[in-house]
Structure 1
Amino acid sequence: MENTSYLSIQDILVTNEKVPCKFLHDLPKMGFLDPSATEEDLKAGTHLDIPLWLAESLYSRRPPLISVELPKIYKESYREILGADACTVDMHKLGKYFYEMGCYVAKHDIKGEVSATLMNTFRQRFRMLLSASVSNDSISSMQPLSESERVQAAAAATTERALAMWLQRGESPLTAANMVANHRKRKRAEMEML
């Protein structure tokens, strides 16, 4: 993600999620990463689930020490489910940080399908969140939301309540500022002089 913060708790939680990786080279004295390993060294071709922060670090080396594989929630079968109707999916169960993690994983997707899935899923679910926040529907009655969707839903509900309260007050109708009214009068006077 481009606008991540080193001190962001959310970013720390996202990068702590595990991703499947394949080690491309032998790594001496790293066998402790694989709980089933009996040797001290980690052999090339080993498949492990490691935290995203470690995977990013090992992938960014030249030459890369690992290849990052897509987690199952971003693979073809889940992309088809999300493409069909993303509003019926329990996003909290699928991935608490689905969008944030997807932004990290998208750069390892050669075909670019993860990015398209993230955008389409967000569009479908945003419409659902927006309509629920402006109508009498309860957001809590919808399928469980991801963390970013919860933040958006709370912000939308707060904004809707504030707008409703402001409209009910009715004590301060919108009027043009004196400066704007005077400016119009001066413009009209200048036009009449020409």
Structure 2
Amino acid sequence: MSYYDIDAILTDTQKLPCTFQLDVPGLGYLDGNAGGTVKAGTIIELPMWLGVMLAVSTGNTPGASQLVTLNFPTPLQQRVINALKADPKTVDLRAQAPHFYALGARIMELFDDQAVLDTLLDTFKARASEIADQAHNPRGALGDGAEFLRGLDEIERQLFKAAHEGPKAVKAWMQDQKKNS
């Protein structure tokens, strides 16, 4: 992840449910209670960058437990994973998270869940073939495929653009080679 990568910055702003393990005075504004105390057991959705920072923080006494524990974000919770397993082409990934795969990669850095990782990989493979088909068949993109294309996340949109513009670039190069020969 690059410091100046806007996609990485937007991914790290994705909300992540965090469960507080300790009472924290003065952080009540995170839960809509300005100046109040966040009680242990409270779940608050925080930007990923903040949740991760709080998860590695501990209380100020030796041996204290961590401040928060992280939970899977909504786009990667079990109901979405089940839908992806059933038919990955029908899930609107953009509605789940505009940077769905980047979020998945970032979450896999934090959690060791092979089943979710396998589902994300299978989803990308299945959707990549459909994206390539839509990129080479413009009538499909205007008809039945339009709904599918609206649901692409940012990485899939880049893949669609590359698959759509690649053959045009090769054709232009071939014509240029014929002219110069």
TM-score scaled by length of structure 1: 0.77
Tell whether the 8 Å contact from 1:96 to 1:146 is kept in structure 2 after alignment: yes
Partner of 2:23: 26
Aligned match of 1:16: 13
Q: Which runs of no fewer than 5 residues in structure 2 stay unpaired?
A: 59-64
User: Larger C-alpha radius of gyration, 1 or 2?
Assistant: 1
Equivalent of 1:129, from 131, 136, 144?
131
The residue aligned with 1:41 is 37
**1:160 and 2:164 matched:** no
Letter in 2 for 1:159: G
Check 1:6–1:64 CA distance in 2 against 1; reply closer, same or farther (3 A cut). Answer: farther
Q: Deviations over 1:49-106 (max 9, x none)?
A: 0101101111123553111111222122211111121112222112111111111222
Stretches of structure 1 that go unaligned for 5 or more consecutive residues are: 175-194
TM-score calculated relative to the size of structure 2: 0.82
Q: Which moved more, 1:13-22 or 1:39-48?
A: 39-48
Give the Å deviation of 1:128. Answer: 0.9
Corresponding residue for residue 189 of structure 1? none
- 1:89 is aligned, of 85, 88, 91, to 91
2-side partners of 1:107 and 1:68: how far apart?
A: 12
**Mapped contact 1:95–1:146 kept (Cα < 8 A):** yes
Classify the secondary structure of the residue corresponding to 2:24: coil
Task: Provide the residue aligned with 2:70 in structure 1.
Answer: 68
